Protein backbone atom coordinates (compact mmCIF):
# COMPACT_ATOMS: atom_id res chain seq x y z
CA UNK A 1 0.00 0.00 0.00
CA UNK A 2 1.42 3.39 -0.93
CA UNK A 3 2.18 5.66 2.01
CA UNK A 4 1.12 8.81 0.15
CA UNK A 5 -2.62 8.05 0.18
CA UNK A 6 -4.92 10.10 2.38
CA UNK A 7 -7.11 8.41 4.98
CA UNK A 8 -9.92 8.34 2.41
CA UNK A 9 -7.55 6.99 -0.26
CA UNK A 10 -6.51 4.17 2.07
CA UNK A 11 -10.17 3.30 2.64
CA UNK A 12 -10.76 3.26 -1.13
CA UNK A 13 -7.72 1.01 -1.62
CA UNK A 14 -8.73 -1.39 1.14
CA UNK A 15 -12.12 -1.87 -0.49
CA UNK A 16 -10.75 -2.26 -4.02
CA UNK A 17 -8.33 -4.94 -2.81
CA UNK A 18 -11.27 -6.73 -1.17
CA UNK A 19 -13.45 -6.96 -4.32
CA UNK A 20 -12.12 -10.42 -5.25
CA UNK A 21 -13.05 -11.70 -1.78
CA UNK A 22 -16.70 -10.70 -2.31
CA UNK A 23 -17.24 -12.14 -5.79
CA UNK A 24 -16.17 -15.52 -7.15
CA UNK A 25 -14.48 -15.22 -10.54
CA UNK A 26 -13.92 -11.45 -10.24
CA UNK A 27 -10.52 -9.81 -9.85
CA UNK A 28 -8.99 -6.34 -9.97
CA UNK A 29 -6.10 -6.54 -12.42
CA UNK A 30 -4.75 -3.00 -11.99
CA UNK A 31 -5.89 0.14 -10.20
CA UNK A 32 -4.73 3.68 -9.58
CA UNK A 33 -6.15 5.87 -6.83
CA UNK A 34 -5.89 9.54 -7.77
CA UNK A 35 -6.71 12.54 -5.54
CA UNK A 36 -10.27 12.83 -6.89
CA UNK A 37 -10.99 9.61 -8.80
CA UNK A 38 -10.04 5.97 -9.33
CA UNK A 39 -9.11 3.94 -12.39
CA UNK A 40 -9.48 0.17 -12.19
CA UNK A 41 -9.40 -2.79 -14.54
CA UNK A 42 -11.93 -5.28 -13.22
CA UNK A 43 -11.81 -8.76 -14.74
CA UNK A 44 -15.12 -10.61 -14.75
CA UNK A 45 -15.07 -14.39 -15.27
CA UNK A 46 -12.29 -14.59 -17.84
CA UNK A 47 -10.51 -17.57 -16.31
CA UNK A 48 -11.47 -21.12 -17.37
CA UNK A 49 -11.73 -22.26 -13.75
CA UNK A 50 -14.55 -19.75 -13.18
CA UNK A 51 -17.03 -21.51 -15.48
CA UNK A 52 -20.32 -21.81 -13.65
CA UNK A 53 -24.04 -22.00 -14.17
CA UNK A 54 -24.94 -18.77 -12.31
CA UNK A 55 -24.26 -15.50 -14.12
CA UNK A 56 -21.47 -13.28 -12.88
CA UNK A 57 -22.37 -9.99 -11.21
CA UNK A 58 -22.55 -7.04 -13.56
CA UNK A 59 -20.04 -4.23 -13.54
CA UNK A 60 -22.85 -1.99 -12.23
CA UNK A 61 -23.29 -4.30 -9.23
CA UNK A 62 -19.58 -4.49 -8.47
CA UNK A 63 -19.01 -0.74 -8.74
CA UNK A 64 -22.20 0.04 -6.79
CA UNK A 65 -21.22 -2.24 -3.93
CA UNK A 66 -17.67 -0.84 -3.93
CA UNK A 67 -18.89 2.76 -3.79
CA UNK A 68 -21.39 1.88 -1.07
CA UNK A 69 -18.77 0.22 1.14
CA UNK A 70 -16.28 3.07 0.74
CA UNK A 71 -18.99 5.68 1.41
CA UNK A 72 -20.21 3.88 4.52
CA UNK A 73 -16.71 3.78 6.02
CA UNK A 74 -15.87 7.40 5.11
CA UNK A 75 -19.19 8.61 6.57
CA UNK A 76 -18.19 7.08 9.91
CA UNK A 77 -15.33 9.60 9.91
CA UNK A 78 -17.18 12.55 8.38
CA UNK A 79 -20.93 12.14 7.90
CA UNK A 80 -21.26 15.12 5.55
CA UNK A 81 -18.32 14.23 3.28
CA UNK A 82 -19.37 13.97 -0.39
CA UNK A 83 -17.66 10.85 -1.70
CA UNK A 84 -18.79 9.97 -5.24
CA UNK A 85 -20.44 11.42 -8.31
CA UNK A 86 -23.77 9.80 -9.19
CA UNK A 87 -22.48 7.63 -12.04
CA UNK A 88 -19.24 6.23 -13.40
CA UNK A 89 -17.66 5.87 -16.82
CA UNK A 90 -16.95 2.34 -17.96
CA UNK A 91 -15.07 1.17 -21.01
CA UNK A 92 -15.17 -2.43 -22.08
- Summarised one tens digit per residue, pLDDT across range 10-26 is 999 999 999 999 888 89
Distance from C-alpha of 72 to C-alpha of 81, rounded to nearest angstrom: 11
pTM to 2 decimals? 0.82
For 25-32, what is the mean pLDDT?
Answer: 93
> pLDDT tens digits for 34-49?
988 899 999 987 766 6
Query: Which pLDDT belongs to residue 83?
Result: 87
* Mean pLDDT, the chain, whole residue set: 86
DSSP letters of 53-81?
SSPPPPHHHHHHHHHHHHHHHHHHH-TT-
Q: Domain locations in the chain?
A: 7-75
pLDDT at residue 1 greater than cutoff 60: no
Amino acid sequence: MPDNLTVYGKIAEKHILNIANHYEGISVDKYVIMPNHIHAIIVIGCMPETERSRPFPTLDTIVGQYKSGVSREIHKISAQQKVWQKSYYDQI
